[in-house]
Amino acid sequence: MNSGNSEHSTVFLRLEGPLQAWGDTSKFVIRRSMEAPTKSGVVGLICCAMGLSRVAARERLAELNGLAMGVRIDRAATRWWDYQTVGARTGMTTAAGGVKTGAQGTLITRREYLADASFLVALQGDAVLVERIAGALQKPKWQLYLGRKSCPPSVPVFARPRQDETWTNPMAGKGSLKPALEEVPWCPRYRGDAASDGPINLPCLIEWRQTNDTDIAPDEAEVWYDAPFSFDPPVHHPRLVMRDAVTVDVGAALQHRTPPPPRPRADYRNSEYKRRRIARLESDHGLCVFCKSPATTVQHVTYRRAGGDEEQDDLRSLCRLCHDAVTMIEYGMGMGLDRINPEDRQWRDQIIARREEIIRFRSLETRRRRLSAEEVE
Ligand SMILES: [Zn+2]
Confidence of residue 31 (pLDDT cuts 50, 70, 90): confident
According to the model, what pLDDT value does residue 77 have? Answer: 87
Beta strands in the chain (DSSP E): 8-16, 19-20, 30-31, 68-75, 78-86, 92-93, 99-100, 107-115, 118-126, 200-207, 222-231, 234-248, 297-300, 315-318
CA of 262 to the centre of ligand 1 (A): 28
CA of 266 to the centre of ligand 1 (A): 21
Kindly state whether residue 262 falls inside one of the protein's structural domains.
no
Residue ranges of the alpha helices (H) in the chain?
39-50, 54-57, 61-65, 127-138, 177-183, 251-256, 271-283, 320-333, 348-376
What is the CB-side half-sphere exposure of residue 224 using CA atoms within 13 A? 27
Cα 134 to Cα 9, 107, 130, 177, 374, distances in angstroms:
11, 40, 6, 17, 55
Kindly state whether residue 263 falls inside one of the protein's structural domains.
no
Q: How far apart (Å, rounded) are the C-alpha atoms in residues 40 and 50?
A: 15
Q: Which residues pair with 111 in a beta bridge?
A: 31, 82
Confidence of residue 110 (pLDDT cuts 50, 70, 90): confident
Residues 6+ apart with CB under 8 A from 288: 294, 295, 317, 318, 319, 322
Does residue 170 have a cis peptide bond before it, meaning omega lies within 30 degrees of 0? Answer: no
Question: What average pLDDT does the segment 119-130 reach?
Answer: 91
Together in a domain, 145 and 174: yes
Do 206 and 242 touch, CB atoms closer than 8 A? yes
Confidence of residue 376 (pLDDT cuts 50, 70, 90): low
Q: How far apart (Å, rounded) are the C-alpha atoms in residues 232 and 57?
A: 9
CA of 152 to the centre of ligand 1 (A): 40
Kindly state whether residue 1 falls inside one of the protein's structural domains.
no
pLDDT at 282 exceeding the cut of 90:
yes
Question: What average pLDDT does the segment 287-300 reach?
Answer: 93
Together in a domain, 283 and 250: no
For residue range 145-159, list pLDDT tens digits in order: 999 988 999 989 998
- Looking at the structure of the chain, the number of domains it has is 2
CA of 135 to the centre of ligand 1 (A): 57
Three-state SS for 99? strand
Together in a domain, 89 and 157: yes
Q: How far apart (Å, rounded) are the C-alpha atoms in residues 56 and 353?
A: 55
Tell me the CATH number at 87. 3.30.70.2660
CA of 358 to the centre of ligand 1 (A): 13
Together in a domain, 232 and 117: yes
Mean pLDDT of the chain: 82
> Considering only CA atoms, which of 299, 297, 298, 307 is closest in space to residue 264?
307
According to the model, what pLDDT value does residue 204 have? Answer: 95
What is the CB-side half-sphere exposure of residue 89 using CA atoms within 13 A? 0
Residues 6+ apart with CB under 8 A from 326: 299, 318, 339, 340, 342, 347, 351, 354
CA of 297 to the centre of ligand 1 (A): 10
Residues lining ligand 1 (ion), CB within 5 A? 288, 290-291, 293, 319, 322
Confidence of residue 89 (pLDDT cuts 50, 70, 90): low
Together in a domain, 319 and 216: no
CA of 304 to the centre of ligand 1 (A): 24
pLDDT at 266 exceeding the cut of 90:
no
CA of 318 to the centre of ligand 1 (A): 5
According to the model, what pLDDT value does residue 143 have? Answer: 93
CA of 342 to the centre of ligand 1 (A): 9
Specify the higher pLDDT residue, 93 or 231: 231
Together in a domain, 294 and 239: no
Q: Which residues pair with 240 in a beta bridge?
A: 223
Residues 6+ apart with CB under 8 A from 95: none
For residue range 59-77, list pLDDT tens digits in order: 999 999 999 999 999 988 8
Q: How do beta strands 222-231 and 315-318 pair?
A: unpaired
Task: Kindly calculate the radius of gyration of the chain based on its CA atoms and give it in whole angstroms.
Answer: 27
Kindly state whether residue 156 falls inside one of the protein's structural domains.
yes
* Residue type (1 letter), 319: C
- pLDDT above 90 covers a percentage of the chain that reads 40
CA of 356 to the centre of ligand 1 (A): 12
The domain containing residue 361 runs over which residues? 271-376
Together in a domain, 215 and 276: no
Kindly state whether residue 93 falls inside one of the protein's structural domains.
yes
CA of 39 to the centre of ligand 1 (A): 54
pLDDT at 176 exceeding the cut of 50:
yes
Q: Which residues pair with 11 in a beta bridge?
A: 123
Kindly state whether residue 217 falls inside one of the protein's structural domains.
yes
For residue range 349-372, list pLDDT tens digits in order: 999 999 998 888 877 777 777 777
Question: What average pLDDT does the segment 172-181 reach?
Answer: 70
Together in a domain, 130 and 185: yes
pLDDT at 258 exceeding the cut of 60:
no
According to the model, what pLDDT value does residue 66 have? Answer: 92
CA of 141 to the centre of ligand 1 (A): 54
Highest mean pLDDT among 127-131, 183-187, 366-370: 127-131
